[in-house]
Amino acid sequence: MTSRQFLLIVAIAQGVLLVGLVILIVLNRWVRVRRSARIHPLRIELDTLMQRWSLGQASPDEVLRAMARLPVPIAIDALVTWSARIGGDRWQELSRGLESQWWARAVRAASRSARWWKRLDCARFLSVAATSHDVGRVLRLLRDHHPAVQIAAATTLERVGSSALVTAALEQLPFLGPTVQAYYASVLKRARPAVLRHLQQLFRRLDDPRLPRLIEFAGRLEEPVLREGFTTLATHPEAEVRSQVARALGKFPHPESVAALGYLVADEAWPVRAQATRSLGMIADPKSLPAVREALRDPEWWVRLRAGLALTRFGAPGRNVLLEAEVGGDPEARDMAALILGLSPQALAEYAA
């Protein structure tokens, strides 16, 4: 084949493709307009029925029939939207009704699909319509390799009270990325009793690499029964564990918390000292004032900043410490005190946030 022939073939192929693309663009728009015109009234009909059903003016069967007429992803979207508005027994009734629907059975079967978007559809469906029969499916979806599926599956924990699911999510929590961890944590908070039991057990495994993340999560729960576990871990050999303990203890105003923080504020690792200083400020026990005053002279800037901010929470005694430091002999404490005393109340509030 000569180069001219080759170019000719390419040119013809390009021409065909160009025309094909233009036809594709026009066809795509036409199909979308038609599809939207067909589906939009069905969706409105479903929304009206849902509203009537929520007011007791329509039966669940009518709702289920209207839902079955919609394409599956749109039916799931409608379920997700309405689940936020209707709850309790009424929603449970609809969930049970969905178990016998052919399309819902197909969505449930997709929990084993090779295609991630099918599994995502399944997870989203179960997040609002799962029943106690779905625990096995949700467990599988929680361990899915696609994070979007995991996130949707984790939402199911809000609806299905299963200790097996809680344990599985909690076990997985430390291995997730920080943001997904935070999302799991926000969901797990709502299943508090089962979570607390399991956390207390996990706190006893001192060499568990998941410990720092679990403490971080446990701190967010602000549950008094966990405080004792935190103070025990204050002497843990891992700095990351101690740092998380120091952070968490700020939410537990108790003499034992103050004692543990008094120990941690002199830690060899500066992140631990910074967190402990911050937590002492949050508790603001007058007995801990000397320790915070000492932290204002810390060699690390961040610890000094935390100490300065913590002192503003001690009221007049804390302010006096800052005023003394501002004219004192330690240049670094002097600079930090001047900086903190110059902050507006609004800026201080933002720092505290």
Partner 1 sequence: MSELIRVTDVVILAYFLALNTFYALLLVLSIPEIWEQTRLAEDEDFQRLMQSDALPPITILVPAHNESATIEASVTAILTLEYRNFEVVVVNDGSKDDTLERLRHAFDLYEVPRTYPETLSTYPVHAVYRSRTRTRLLVIDKENAGKADSLNAAVNASRFPLVIAVDADTLIEPDALLRLTRPFLLGRQIAAVGGTVRVANGCTVKDGRVSDARVPRRLLPGIQVVEYLRAFLFGRLGWNRLGGSLVISGAFGLFRKEYLHAIGGYQTRSVVEDMDLVIRLHRHLQRQKIRYEIPFIPDPVAWTEVPESGRILARQRERWHRGLIAAMWQYKGMLFNPRYGRVGLIAMPFFTFGEMIAPLVEVAGYIVTAVGLAFGVVNTSFALLFLLVAWGYGMLLSLWAVVLEEVSFRRYGRLGDLIRLLCYATLETFGYRQRTVWWRLKAFFTVFTLRQRWGEMTRKGFEDAGKQAAG
- Binding residues for partner 1, rule: CB under 8 A, are 3-4, 7-8, 10-11, 14-15, 17-18, 21-22, 24-25, 28-29, 32, 73, 80, 84, 117, 120-121, 124, 147-148, 150-151, 155, 176-180, 182-183, 185-187, 301, 305, 339, 342-344, 346-347, 350-351
Closest CA to 278 of 338, 182, 202, 351: 351
CB of 260 to partner 1, least distance (A): 26
CA 309 to chain centre: 28
CB of 223 to partner 1, least distance (A): 16
Nearer to partner 1, 42 or 341 (CB): 341
On whether the CB atoms of residues 166 and 188 are closer than 8 A, the answer is yes
Nearer to partner 1, 9 or 266 (CB): 9
CB of 285 to partner 1, least distance (A): 26
In DSSP notation, 174-207 reads GGS-HHHHHHHHHHHGGGHHHHHHHHHHHTT-TT
CB of 280 to partner 1, least distance (A): 20
Nearer to partner 1, 174 or 231 (CB): 174
CB of 319 to partner 1, least distance (A): 17
Nearer to partner 1, 173 or 233 (CB): 173
Nearer to partner 1, 24 or 44 (CB): 24
Provide the terminal-to-terminal Cα distance of the chain, rounded to the nearest Å.
Answer: 73
Round to whole Å and give the CA distance between 84 and 80: 7
CB of 108 to partner 1, least distance (A): 17
Sign of the CA dihedral with 265 first, then 269, 270, and 271 last: negative
Nearer to partner 1, 2 or 132 (CB): 2
Round to whole Å and give the CA distance between 100 and 157: 22
Half-sphere exposure of 295 toward its Cβ, with a 13 Å CA cutoff?
Answer: 36
Round to whole Å and give the CA distance between 279 and 281: 5
Round to whole Å and give the CA distance between 183 and 185: 5
